[in-house]
Amino acid sequence: MIRFHKEGYKIITIALILSVAGILLAEKFIDSTWLVKTIQILILALLIIILQFFRNPKRIAPLNDNALVAPVDGKVVVIEEVEEPEYFKGKRLQVSIFMSPINVHVTRYAMSGVVKYSKYHPGKYLVAWHPKASTENERTTIVLNNAVFGDVLYRQIAGALAKRIVNYAKEGEKVIQGTDAGFIKFGSRVDLFLPLNTKLNVSLGDKVKGGTQIIAEK
């Protein structure tokens, strides 16, 4: 059975009502059979896109303190050593995962631990793969801590189409690996900032599965 994320309930309900209304109105007021069918097919196609975007498949995390799971579904587009200016103010290993509109957009906790930092930043809506998107786009920055990895930062970043980031992480809260950490509506990316000695299990261009796939280990 397909599950949907709670962030999509309102949009899905509105889309269903408008879809039914559009199909019935096209049938009633348009004489051309081919035009009616074309409009109805387009309406159904749009509804299917909305439904698949808000799907929330059940995932079972490994619950391993020595491993990090992918926080989202998507493609690894950046692996590099960078200067992280907001929290660490020092060098970290950055791993960025880009989500296309067809990916599952649930953000999941990469590891179990305690939320040490959680901050929202308003900003621009540059395309998600733009080099400055990580520091200039609308974004949230969250830092988790556990005994094995220490502090790990992840950043939800809005893109050209993503106009709302949902973040559930609250400072001081204990969280469990693989559970729901938030949602990004309509496509974007998540950056991870890891200790420099972290062993990665992914390479550039790899497609990863959020909540279950181990992408790094200690």
Active site residues: 188
Paired strand residues for 78 = 96
- The CA distance from 177 to 64, in Å, is 8
Cα-Cα-Cα-Cα dihedral sign, residues 171, 125, 71, 92: negative
Residue 91 dihedral angles phi and psi, to the nearest 5°: -80, 140
Q: Residue 166 in contact with residue 152, Cβ under 8 Å?
A: no
- In 53-89, the DSSP E strands lie at 67-69, 74-84
The candidate with the shortest Cα–Cα distance to 136, out of 128, 148, 144, is 128
Q: Cβ contacts of residue 186 below 8 Å, gap of 6+?
A: 53, 101, 105, 159, 161, 162, 163
Which residues does 26 contact at the CB level (< 8 Å), separation at least 6? 35, 36, 39, 40, 43
